[in-house]
Amino acid sequence: MNMLPTAITSYLTAHTTRDLDAAMGWYAADAEVTDEGKTYHGHDEIRAWLDRSASEYTYTTELIGARRLDDHTYVATHHLEGNFPGGTVDLDFTFTLKDDKITQLVIA
């Protein structure tokens, strides 16, 4: 799993521990996040999404896979278990980086 750049591993740690300030520090100013078919643009929308997703459900997450697609794109696969509909799911977090910042994150 060590193939993921520091920007991604640090972001994922902050996301898992629900440290919004640390997580937001890894996003570029013009970043986009797509989750559950909705896209969030820029720091304000992304912070609101992170805050909402952190409080909506209780769950555990485990990194079960990682791969590099190209020089700027990486996929981190997580297994989630919790009190959300279905109870368990494996999700791909596809990150696009530029200058050690996350410019795009797609969760599917």
Q: Determine the Cα–Cα distance for residues 3 and 48; give it in Å rounded to an integer.
A: 29
Q: Please report, for the chain, the start and end positions of each structural domain, with discontinuous segments joined by +.
A: 6-107
pLDDT of the residue at 5: 96
Give the mean model confidence (pLDDT) for residues 12-17.
Answer: 91
pTM for the whole thing? 0.92
Q: Which pLDDT tens digit goes with each residue over 68-82?
A: 999 999 999 999 999
CATH match for 6-107 among 3.40.190.10, 3.40.640.10, 2.60.40.10, 3.10.450.50:
3.10.450.50
Q: Determine the Cα–Cα distance for residues 79 and 51; give it in Å rounded to an integer.
A: 20
Q: Determine the Cα–Cα distance for residues 72 and 88; give it in Å rounded to an integer.
A: 29
Q: Which pLDDT tens digit goes with each residue over 18-61?
A: 899 999 999 999 999 999 899 999 999 999 999 988 777 888 88
pLDDT of the residue at 1: 47
